[in-house]
């Protein structure tokens, strides 16, 4: 059994405890989600469990963490390695090897496992995560989603007694998410402890035995997931649970939603949704022409013959399975990478270098720390807009006064990401590109992102988002799907989402899957909703 007793953590130079008197037990075979808003203490708890705090991160720690009645802090590191499998929020910060197979084998080698067994465990782990095709790839050439799966394979390779996973779903598409959740459920059923520190709860919540909710460093709830849906409303509930009709029903799966709602919908023809009226300049400001790219040592292209044109006043989403080339494309647009063929044009002028792009194109990388200077969010924003009073007003308007004077290194990863996104929207660049914007963001953070997207439209800006998070889709004007190195779908989010499962390897969001499942069960055509706001409005009309 894992036992956490009166655990408190306070970082150096901080006056507030990141964790305050945390108590819980977890038994072998339990699959537990630890959830909470950004800054609630999730990553701090994960790092304390595996002793990154206080061994590698300076912080004062009180209380005890025991496993099988042994104090974790007193265990030698070799024994810790045998107990814990850990996947950090940013796997790129923890990689040690050049090749994928070497990365997965690294921990096994440190445990002095025989070579034959290492090969066997390596192959089993590659197969489990369905990444055999990545075995001989350079770690530096992987997409963030691919690297996430490699990190999971590394953690699973030696079958640890206790898995600690910090945002394991953050970078993967819904289909891979469902597969991973099933794998974690199977591992727990085999007698292992699985602790998933997670924001995205669409599919994982239905499979977990238990959820622990954190708020400002304290546990506010601990029990069966279905019991605390109301408490999740301000954190991150599954999309399907936000359907307003029949509120006395707790719904955390599409299957249950279909059972409950199949008699609610009238037998009606599909409701037509008209495009939103948007003022936009007709001229295409950004043009991507015949763009192709591959890494030097690779025979296979990452992207082939990519063509995209757009006017201002547009928010465009890029989606695709892990490794499809989403992040590569935005790096090509910003000239961080150079294409073998084709070009990028802004206002009909070809962008030839990063220097030429820097005042026109802003890129927020997946690792937000690379975008921030500090020492505080307020100082960062003041450097951009020039006047501190204006920067303070922006933070007040966004409801983030409590963050603006904190040291950047005292912020959670989700809070840092939100600050980086805010900064990017106050630059003067025509084009803003954000790689995986919702990693670590809670519901409030996503609402702020939606507000910033609307403000960008008022300034005729182009925003390009690379993400597989389905929750961002309703905020888009256009959705582009990349598959097999090419653009395979390109249109309005509504059109693309309802073709997605049939024409690609991806799954749409839960609302779309729910409507499609109902259509199949009832044998009728239903309105093509893409979010719960539309669906709830419709249900009010038909009640």
In 10 A of CB 417, how many CB atoms?
28
What's the pLDDT score for residue 139? 92
What's the pLDDT score for residue 266? 63
Complete DSSP assignment for 352-410: -SHHHHTTTEEEE-SSGGGG---SSHHHHHHHHHS-HHHHHHHHHHTT-HHHHTS-GGG
What's the pLDDT score for residue 159? 86
What's the pLDDT score for residue 279? 47
What's the pLDDT score for residue 323? 84
Give the Cα separation of 347 and 351 in Å (integer). Answer: 10
Complete DSSP assignment for 237-270: --GGGG--SSTTS---SHHHHHHHHTTTS-S-PP
What's the pLDDT score for residue 205? 94
What's the pLDDT score for residue 273? 61
Q: According to CATH, what is the number of the domain 286-491?
A: 3.40.50.300
Every domain range in the chain assigned CATH 3.40.50.300: 2-237, 286-491
Give the Cα separation of 467 and 135 in Å (integer). Answer: 24
At residue 52, the 3 state secondary structure works out as helix
What's the pLDDT score for residue 94? 86
Give the Cα separation of 485 and 300 in Å (integer). Answer: 9
State phi, psi for 103 to the nearest 5 degrees.
-65, -45
Output the six-digit token pair for 313.
Answer: 């006043």
- Please state which of the four CATH numbers 3.90.1150.10, 3.40.50.2300, 3.40.190.10, 3.40.50.300 is assigned to the domain occupying 2-237: 3.40.50.300
Residue 482 forms beta bridges with which residues?
A: 487
What's the pLDDT score for residue 276? 52
* Torsion sign, CA atoms 404, 409, 412, 417: positive
Output the six-digit token pair for 220.
Answer: 């506010």
At residue 487, the 3 state secondary structure works out as strand
Ranges of the chain with pLDDT below 50: 277-280
User: Cis peptide leading into 270, omega within 30 of 0?
Assistant: no
State phi, psi for 356 to the nearest 5 degrees.
-70, -30
Residue 159 forms beta bridges with which residues?
A: none
What's the pLDDT score for residue 171? 85
Give the Cα separation of 529 and 543 in Å (integer). Answer: 17
């Amino acid at each position: 059994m894992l036992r956490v007793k009166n655990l408190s953590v306070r970082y150096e130079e901080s006056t507030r405890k990141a964790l305050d008197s945390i108590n819980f037990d977890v038994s072998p075979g339990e699959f537990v989600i630890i959830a909470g808003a950004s800054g609630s203490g999730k990553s701090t708890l994960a790092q304390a469990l595996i002793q990154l705090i206080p061994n590698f991160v300076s912080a004062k720690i009180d209380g005890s963490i025991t496993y099988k009645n042994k104090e974790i802090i007193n265990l030698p590191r070799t024994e810790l390695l045998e107990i814990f499998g850990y996947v950090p929020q940013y796997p790129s910060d923890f990689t040690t090897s050049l090749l994928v197979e070497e990365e997965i084998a690294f921990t096994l080698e440190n445990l002095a496992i025989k070579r034959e067994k290492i090969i066997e465990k390596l192959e089993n782990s590659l197969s489990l995560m369905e990444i055999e095709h990545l075995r001989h790839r350079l770690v530096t050439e992987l997409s963030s989603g691919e690297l996430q799966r490699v990190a999971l394979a590394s953690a699973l390779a030696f079958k640890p007694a206790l898995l600690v996973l910090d945002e394991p779903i953050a970078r993967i598409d819904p289909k891979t998410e469902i597969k991973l959740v099933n794998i974690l459920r199977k591992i727990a059923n085999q007698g292992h402890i699985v602790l998933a520190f997670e924001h995205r709860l669409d599919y994982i919540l239905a499979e977990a035995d238990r959820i622990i909710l954190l708020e400002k460093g304290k546990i506010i709830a601990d029990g069966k997931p279905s019991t605390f849906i109301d408490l999740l409303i301000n954190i991150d509930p599954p999309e399907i649970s936000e359907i307003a009709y029949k509120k006395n029903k707790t719904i955390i799966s599409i299957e249950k939603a279909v059972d409950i709602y199949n008699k609610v919908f009238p037998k009606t023809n599909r409701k037509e949704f008209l495009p939103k009226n948007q003022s936009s300049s007709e001229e295409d400001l950004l043009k991507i022409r015949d763009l192709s790219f591959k890494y030097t040592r690779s025979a296979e292209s990452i992207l082939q013959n990519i063509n995209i044109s757009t006017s201002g006043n547009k928010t465009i989403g890029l989606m695709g399975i892990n490794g499809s080339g989403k992040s590569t494309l935005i790096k090509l647009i910003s000239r961080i990478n150079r294409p073998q063929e084709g070009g990028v044009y802004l206002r009909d002028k070809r962008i030839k270098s990063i220097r030429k792009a820097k005042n026109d194109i802003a890129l927020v990388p997946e690792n937000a720390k690379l975008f921030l200077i500090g020492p505080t969010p307020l100082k960062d924003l003041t450097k951009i807009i020039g006047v501190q009073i204006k920067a303070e007003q922006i933070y007040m308007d966004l409801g983030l006064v409590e963050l603006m004077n904190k040291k950047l290194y005292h912020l959670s990863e989700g809070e840092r990401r939100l600050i980086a996104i805010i900064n990017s929207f106050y630059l003067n660049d025509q084009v803003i590109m954000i790689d995986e914007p919702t990693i670590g963001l809670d519901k409030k953070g996503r609402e702020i992102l939606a507000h910033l997207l609307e403000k960008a439209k008022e300034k005729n800006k182009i925003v390009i988002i690379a993400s597989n998070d389905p929750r961002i889709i309703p905020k888009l004007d256009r959705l582009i799907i990349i598959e097999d190195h090419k653009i395979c779908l390109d249109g309005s989010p509504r059109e693309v989402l309802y073709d997605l499962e049939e024409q690609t390897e991806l799954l749409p969001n839960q609302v779309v899957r729910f409507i499609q499942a109902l259509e199949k069960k009832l044998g009728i055509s239903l309105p093509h909703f893409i979010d719960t706001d539309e669906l709830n409005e419709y249900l009010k009309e038909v009640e």
